[in-house]
Structure 1
């Protein structure tokens, strides 16, 4: 995922829908139609950035379909397929204490309760049963292994301190 410090990815344009310029969107928001609440998007595709406006959108079955302002043709819409949808982090609603956006966790150092460094949160994955921290090795880590840690607050994830850049987990480094 492409990400800048002042913005976050909230979805991806996946394919065209119909012949009037609509596209299907895979939303990373929860609920998935929360993506429709953001009107001004920046699309990032192949290293290029383009500001666009959401003209209209709606739920369609299990997904989302949208039309961008000024796009009324299937072939023009096709050119946007594969683009990540980003918004400024300042536009995101504030979360209650103890809840975090994924982009806030990415880049934090991960330590066991015993103080061993396992690496850095590279990204998060949604698996269905629970989210997963993908922890990649860093110069401080005890080894060079990538680890997948279940994001289970109070069970595996014991403490998150975004300000100090640290996550403390109850996890056996041998896993």
Structure 2
């Protein structure tokens, strides 16, 4: 069975020629959306999947605009609005040391240097300067927002799914 990993969300159609507007959650948009790349589209909570092949890709403002083989009009792609785009595990390349895929970070337990468990990473937000990791607290409460910078993120152990952090003043209420 093939594992599929989220690379973006279709937020709308674009024009009348079958393009979709995508907010990417990948650092490798040019690679993920290269012509001929196979992707899968699925609405969250639904079983129906649409395998697609990228026909055309371009950047427009903060979006990736994609067109798929066999989908030539707005009517063909309307059904994809709100759906999630996935890439096959087989298309993931090896990363350099110290680099991680989002799916490797999401779900990791976050602990302080003193050993206090804070919660698990539930989301990664891309900002201009650095990513922000959203930690869902153990026992509830307001999420913790951790900037992905050396002063805060001290150690990442993907095998054990543990991230050790230094809580700078003001990060946690």
Q: Counterparts of 1:1-175 in structure 2 under 5 Å? A: 6-37=3-34, 39-48=37-46, 49-62=48-61, 63-138=63-138, 144-152=141-149, 154-172=150-168, 174-175=172-173
- Cα separation, 2, equivalents of 1:171 and 1:148: 11
Structure-2 change in CA distance of 1:171 and 1:74 (3 Å): same
1:41–1:116 Cα change, 3 Å: same
Cα distance in 1 between the residues matched to 2:85 and 2:20: 13
Unaligned runs of 5+ in 1: none
Indicate conservation of the 8 Å contact 2:39/2:54, yes or no.
no
String of CA shifts for 1:26-56, please: whole Å, max 9, x gaps.
Answer: 2222253333137221112142331322241
Provide the alpha-carbon RMSD of the alignment.
Answer: 2.2
The whole-number CA distance in structure 1 between the counterparts of 2:158 and 2:115 is 17
- Contact persistence 1:43–1:52 (CA under 8 A): yes
> 3-state DSSP class of the match of 2:120?
strand
CA distance in structure 2 between the aligned counterparts of 1:27 and 1:34, rounded to whole angstroms = 12
Report SS of the residue matched to 1:155.
Answer: coil
TM-score (norm 2): 0.85
Q: 1:128 aligns to what SS in structure 2?
A: coil
Q: Secondary structure at the match of 1:33?
A: helix
